[in-house]
Structure 1
Amino acid sequence: MDSTTHKLYHVHGMDPRSYLDIYFSNKEDMVFAEDSLKFPMAMIHYQLSTGRAEGTFLIGISLGSIIHHLYFTSKFFKKIVLLKFQEKCIMELNRWLYDRTGAYDWSHTSSAAAELEGTRDQLQEKEMLLRSSIMQILRCDFEQENISSPVLLPLADCIISASILEVISKNEDEYMKNLEKTIKLLKPGGQLLLIAVLDTTYWSAEAEWFHCFKCNEEFVKNAFGKVGLVIDYCAVQRRRNVSDLTDYKAMLFIVGCKGE
């Protein structure tokens, strides 16, 4: 596939509902569940339930308007701020946040979260608790030194970055700059929980093709070391589906602690 025709997500934008339907829905033809839903949810549940990350304030930065990876965070972090690149994604998230007509149905993921915790009788509470913890949804811009500008956020105890750095970075230098800007929002001693797709060059949403910076596990680990993140945990899951909508080879979950 000709990479010169690929759009840049943070420049050209995309339809957030189409992205959710393709990669995160409960539809029968949605083949990405093992990688896009189950893997990140299991990894974050493990990280938080074992006491490996804690605090009061968490920042979430992710591609599109996903929320499933955040279910477990509201039990440990009372204040959550989400950073998004598109107004369309903010609008989509606000429909869910305020339980408005037409909001995306995440019930299949709240069920999965309940199964991980062994609390299937508390399905509705999962989304309600998460909604109550989200303080703000803000537009972000990695062209700015402060990516949440003009809002100056307090430093976070934890940041969850989901499938975003490889999408907004055109090369190694940009990846490093974007990683550095991300951890500027993190307290000394705080943790970055990074979910990434490995060895990817493209992904698709609603017949549009988007760029992805091709990086592997070794590159990400080295990047963490260069910016002063001490790796606390790392897991890789090889791709478990067949689809020509994207060419990633594996999913990565890696945790880095910022030096004091």
Structure 2
Amino acid sequence: MDPCTHKLYHDEGFDVRQWLEQYFSDKSALVFGEDFMLFPIECFAKTFSEGHIKGDVLIDLSFGPMVHHLFAACEYFMHIIMMKISDQSIMELKRWVDERTGAFDWGRAAKLHVAIEGESHLLEKKEQNVRSALYHVVKCDVEKENMMDPIVLPPANCVISFWLLDAISKDQDDYMRYLRKFSKLLKPRGHIILVGDLDGTYYTVGKHKYHIFTYDENFVRKTLTEEGFIIDSYKTKKRIIRDDQCDYSALFYIVAHKGK
């Protein structure tokens, strides 16, 4: 499929609040709740509870203004730095961090996390723990060699990228080029966690269709290996719900670490 058939997230942007309401809001039927909320929350909770991935700095390079995937990580890192390519995403995140009126409600995600962790009595503290760990929410340019130029970030113990590579990559070369940049943010033997769609072609925000780079499991495994990563774990969640809001066959979650 021609990557120009649909709009590109980082070139044309979209209404990020509309996207949140469409895919994550308590007010909606939450058609993809099991895939986009429950599956990643379970995966992240298990990964971080094992205690192998922790340290001073976690860098998050994810799509849109999501925070639900960080609820487990906040207990294991001193600082979380969120890098965003969209000004709208930054504004939306800061509204939530500062607990301003009208901020998006991530209460459903918090409830899922504490239920999975068996700590429902800590519900009131869960969102505040994430807010406290968010050290910076900053603008980046994925086309620059140093995405934070002229700022140089401290090397991270872990980098998380949830859907961003899918949304900004037009082809295999793009995916590998961006992954290489993300890898440079890591310390030696640092970990990377990727969440993405297999066989995806598009997602919608309102009436508009946006591009997703189409690839399979073999491609993401091969790409990580060629970039010097050793894969620690890999999980998939096959799509069951049929709905024309977005197109993909499965969601994947992969954890890998840098080799020597």
The TM-score normalised by the length of structure 2 is 0.97
Return the alpha-carbon distance in structure 1 between the equivalents of residues 240 and 40 of structure 2. Answer: 14
Deviation at 1:52, TM superposition (A): 3.0
SS at match of 1:95: helix
Gaps of 5+ in 1: none
Return the alpha-carbon distance in structure 2 between the equivalents of residues 195 and 73 of structure 1. Answer: 15
Return the alpha-carbon distance in structure 1 between the equivalents of residues 9 and 124 of structure 2. Answer: 32
Percent identity between the two aligned chains: 40
Residue 22 of structure 2 contacts residue 28 of structure 2 at CA under 8 Å; is this kept in 1? no
Return the alpha-carbon distance in structure 1 between the equivalents of residues 116 and 72 of structure 2. Answer: 10
Q: What does residue 231 of structure 1 align with? A: 231
Residue 34 of structure 1 contacts residue 240 of structure 1 at CA under 8 Å; is this kept in 2? no
Q: What does residue 141 of structure 1 align with? A: 141
Q: What does residue 86 of structure 2 align with? A: 86
Return the alpha-carbon distance in structure 2 between the equivalents of residues 123 and 221 of structure 1. Answer: 36
Q: What does residue 128 of structure 1 align with? A: 128
SS at match of 2:192: strand
**Structure 1 range deviating more: 157-166 or 27-36:** 27-36
Residue type of the alignment partner of 2:220? V
Q: Map of 1:160-199 to 2, 5 A cutoff?
A: 160-199=160-199
Q: What does residue 106 of structure 2 align with? A: 106
SS at match of 2:103: coil
Residue type of the alignment partner of 1:252? F
Return the alpha-carbon distance in structure 2 between the equivalents of residues 160 and 28 of structure 1. Answer: 27
Residue 60 of structure 2 contacts residue 83 of structure 2 at CA under 8 Å; is this kept in 1? yes
Deviation at 1:240, TM superposition (A): 2.8
Backbone CA RMSD of aligned residues:
1.3
1:161-194, CA deviations, whole angstroms, 9 ceiling, x for partnerless residues? 1011011000000100000001100111110011
Residue type of the alignment partner of 2:217? E
Residue type of the alignment partner of 2:122? Q
The TM-score normalised by the length of structure 1 is 0.97
1:188-223, CA deviations, whole angstroms, 9 ceiling, x for partnerless residues? 111001111110111111211111110111100000
Deviation at 1:245, TM superposition (A): 1.1
Deviation at 1:148, TM superposition (A): 2.0
Instruction: List structure 1 segments (4+ residues) > 4 angstroms apart after TM superposition.
Output: none
Aligned CA distance change for structure 1 residues 240 and 25 (closer, same or farther; 3 Å) = farther
Gaps of 5+ in 2: none
SS at match of 2:64: coil
| 2:59 maps to 1:34 | no
Q: State how many pairs are aligned.
A: 260
